[in-house]
A and B are shown apart, each in its own frame.
Chain A
């Protein structure tokens, strides 16, 4: 089973929210959609789910065009940022509702929900209301509901953004185990690039409703196709030198090193990050960020350099890679 999106677009009034979107997701592959807020990543997900009408283009699931099929007929499993659990129903009843309206027999429902609750390790919380669960537990119930649907494609809309950082790290392997092993296409929307890099096989970067690049996390990091992606992916942010002849040269903070010859800099401030430290430098080429090991002593004035092979070049006007 594969999900193919061809030239997908949606506009409201005169404004295009998503346009010219092409994406191909294989079985068992997880593609992360990342981008700044308002870039259209959630809108894309809603288009695939069938919650918003498609203005142009096609969504093809298993060689079948589902662009104009209603949401309830699409066999889509979605996990929402807010989890969207019904507050007046118990965990069990929340999971049961979909099975019930799809005509599953009561004894079957019982059995399948029990099995699912065990899978997400909530077997003892079946009769509890969502409000009595912790954030992580609620997220697992929402996930369980999507899994019970046994969909042809999984859509995860910022499923972990309401959880604290530690819990997110704990849940990532669980998400992999539960969803990615199902051998279905998975699209994961997130604003957290670490999460995207940790989970996704490929990452699609959206900007103003258009995909700028789809690539593996490594390629995206080392060969960003636009200046926007170079700046968006990787923290601390990439350094951009003064443009020369319409070309912007960019170097990652970790590619900079101290040298005898090179760019003379003045230390402005420093941040200690535990395993590394981040230096804010002022140079004739503009301000720079440099990350290095914490064991190094830093003088007030220093000279930095980098390998030419670590340089990225972008066109000043179009922002495209040269």
Chain B
């Protein structure tokens, strides 16, 4: 097999299922049931109309996910940046141990935490509040975020900070003038990865949010699926899948570089 056909196969494998959803979303119900029979009305926008006009309308879930994603990313970076800096300034053995613990936490299948987090949400009355979700999300993203940012701090020449200290810059000023601008590529990578995690997270959102106008996208999609197993409105499904995928496909296409560098720098030094 030559390279061209291998690449074709790879693209078919990666994008085929997604393209099938796009195809389905434009097919009329008749055409879906009998794909090989010619129909007068093969193509339709009716599925998109039904999804967008549902109650609550589909874009509500996108907005909810966006709110949660942005607030979690912000909170996560706010805590991870100072911690990543400080990790280099504690005794070396302690720092190595902390990094190992962070790697362990990053590998941990966080799904198993759902029950304890649910109890927490109940105890603190955090259920059904979108912004409250950013607390567990920021926390679950901390290990990866701290590791990635710590790598970035490690890559900076230490004399830059020494020189700034002698110039009289306070810690805050050093962050403002030196660290924030110089590690901005790593910060961007981290931010996108945290955002992706928050956008896609399911089990915690499932257990924390029940109010249907406050659902995040993944939970809303699953709820459609759970409505009925046998007579599911697949056209509407596919339309929802396509609408739910578009923001992320765009995100990947636009931010491919920082995503890849974030994932790989995590791997190289993780």
Q: Answer yes or no: A and B touching, Cβ < 8 Å.
A: yes
A interface residues with partner B (beta carbon < 8 Å): 46, 49-51, 70-74, 76-78, 80-82, 84, 86-89, 97-98, 101-102, 145, 149
Contact A80 to B181, CB < 8 A, known contacts A97-B167, A97-B169, A98-B167:
no
Q: Would A149 and B157 count as touching, CB distance under 8 A? A: no
- Select from chain A the residue with minimum beta-carbon distance to B167: A98
Q: List chain A residues, Cβ under 8 A from B170.
A: 72, 101
Q: Would A80 and B159 count as touching, CB distance under 8 A? A: yes
Q: Would A101 and B173 count as touching, CB distance under 8 A? A: yes
Number of A-B residue pairs at CB separation under 8 A: 62
Contact A101 to B167, CB < 8 A, known contacts A82-B157, A86-B178:
yes
Q: Would A78 and B166 count as touching, CB distance under 8 A? A: yes
Cross-interface CB contact of A102 among B157, B159, B165, B168, cutoff 8 Å: B168
Q: Which residues of B, 135-173, contact A by the 8 Å Cβ criterion?
A: 157, 159-160, 162-170, 173
- Select from chain A the residue with minimum beta-carbon distance to B159: A84
Q: Would B177 and A97 count as touching, CB distance under 8 A? A: yes
B92 to A: closest C-beta gap in Å: 10
Interchain residue pairs with CB less than 8 A apart (30): A49-B162, A49-B166, A51-B165, A71-B162, A72-B165, A72-B168, A72-B169, A72-B170, A73-B168, A74-B166, A76-B166, A78-B163, A78-B166, A82-B157, A82-B159, A84-B157, A86-B160, A88-B181, A88-B182, A97-B164, A97-B177, A98-B167, A98-B169, A101-B168, A101-B169, A101-B173, A102-B167, A102-B168, A145-B163, A149-B166
Q: List chain B residues, Cβ under 8 A from A46.
A: 162
Q: In whole angstroms, how far apart are the Cα atoms of A34 and B163 in the complex?
A: 22
Q: In whole angstroms, how far apart are the Cα atoms of A149 and B177 in the complex?
A: 18
Q: Would B160 and A84 count as touching, CB distance under 8 A? A: yes
Q: Would A86 and B177 count as touching, CB distance under 8 A? A: yes
A197 to B: closest C-beta gap in Å: 27
Q: Is the interface of B mostly helix, strand, loop or mixed?
A: helix
Q: List chain B residues, Cβ under 8 A from A49.
A: 162, 166
Q: In whole angstroms, how far apart are the Cα atoms of A3 and B166 in the complex?
A: 17
Q: Would A51 and B177 count as touching, CB distance under 8 A? A: no
Q: In whole angstroms, how far apart are the Cα atoms of A82 and B162 in the complex?
A: 12
Q: Would B166 and A71 count as touching, CB distance under 8 A? A: yes
Q: List chain A residues, Cβ under 8 A from B164.
A: 97
Q: In whole angstroms, how far apart are the Cα atoms of A49 and B165 in the complex?
A: 10
Cross-interface CB contact of B163 among A70, A73, A84, A89, cutoff 8 Å: A84
Q: List chain B residues, Cβ under 8 A from A84.
A: 157, 159-160, 162-163
Q: In whole angstroms, how far apart are the Cα atoms of A84 and B167 in the complex?
A: 12
B119 to A: closest C-beta gap in Å: 45
Q: Would A149 and B162 count as touching, CB distance under 8 A? A: no
Q: Which of A51, A84, A88, A89 has the most CB of B within 10 A?
A: A84
Q: In whole angstroms, how far apart are the Cα atoms of A76 and B165 in the complex?
A: 10
- Select from chain B the residue with minimum beta-carbon distance to A142: B163
| Given A72-B169, A86-B178, A89-B177; 8 other pairs, CB 8 A cutoff | A70-B165, A77-B166, A84-B157, A86-B182, A98-B167, A102-B168, A145-B167, A149-B166
Q: In whole angstroms, how far apart are the Cα atoms of A271 and B60 in the complex?
A: 84
Q: In whole angstroms, how far apart are the Cα atoms of A81 and B163 in the complex?
A: 11
Q: List chain A residues, Cβ under 8 A from B169.
A: 72, 97-98, 101
Q: Would B162 and A51 count as touching, CB distance under 8 A? A: yes
Q: List chain B residues, Cβ under 8 A from A149.
A: 166-167
- Select from chain A the residue with minimum beta-carbon distance to B173: A101
Q: In whole angstroms, how far apart are the Cα atoms of A74 and B167 in the complex?
A: 10
Q: In whole angstroms, how far apart are the Cα atoms of A294 and B173 in the complex?
A: 60
Q: In whole angstroms, how far apart are the Cα atoms of A98 and B168 in the complex?
A: 7
Q: In whole angstroms, how far apart are the Cα atoms of A76 and B167 in the complex?
A: 8
Q: List chain B residues, Cβ under 8 A from A88.
A: 181-182
The interface bits of chain B over 106-120 (1 if a CB of A lies within 8 angstroms of the residue's CB, else 0) are 000000000000000
Q: In whole angstroms, how far apart are the Cα atoms of A184 and B132 in the complex?
A: 58
Q: List chain B residues, Cβ under 8 A from A51.
A: 162, 165-166
B231 to A: closest C-beta gap in Å: 59
Q: Which of B159, B160, B169, B178 has the most CB of A within 10 A?
A: B159
Q: List chain A residues, Cβ under 8 A from B162.
A: 46, 49, 51, 71, 78, 80, 84
Q: Would B182 and A87 count as touching, CB distance under 8 A? A: yes
Q: List chain B residues, Cβ under 8 A from A70.
A: 165
Q: In whole angstroms, how far apart are the Cα atoms of A94 and B90 in the complex?
A: 29
- Select from chain A the residue with minimum beta-carbon distance to B182: A88
Q: In whole angstroms, how far apart are the Cα atoms of A86 and B33 in the complex?
A: 65
Contact A80 to B168, CB < 8 A, known contacts A86-B177, A101-B173:
no
- Select from chain A the residue with minimum beta-carbon distance to B178: A86
- Select from chain A the residue with minimum beta-carbon distance to B169: A101
Q: In whole angstroms, how far apart are the Cα atoms of A140 and B162 in the complex?
A: 18
Q: List chain A residues, Cβ under 8 A from B160.
A: 84, 86
- Select from chain A the residue with minimum beta-carbon distance to B160: A84
A218 to B: closest C-beta gap in Å: 33
- Select from chain B the residue with minimum beta-carbon distance to A80: B159
Q: In whole angstroms, how far apart are the Cα atoms of A108 and B159 in the complex?
A: 27
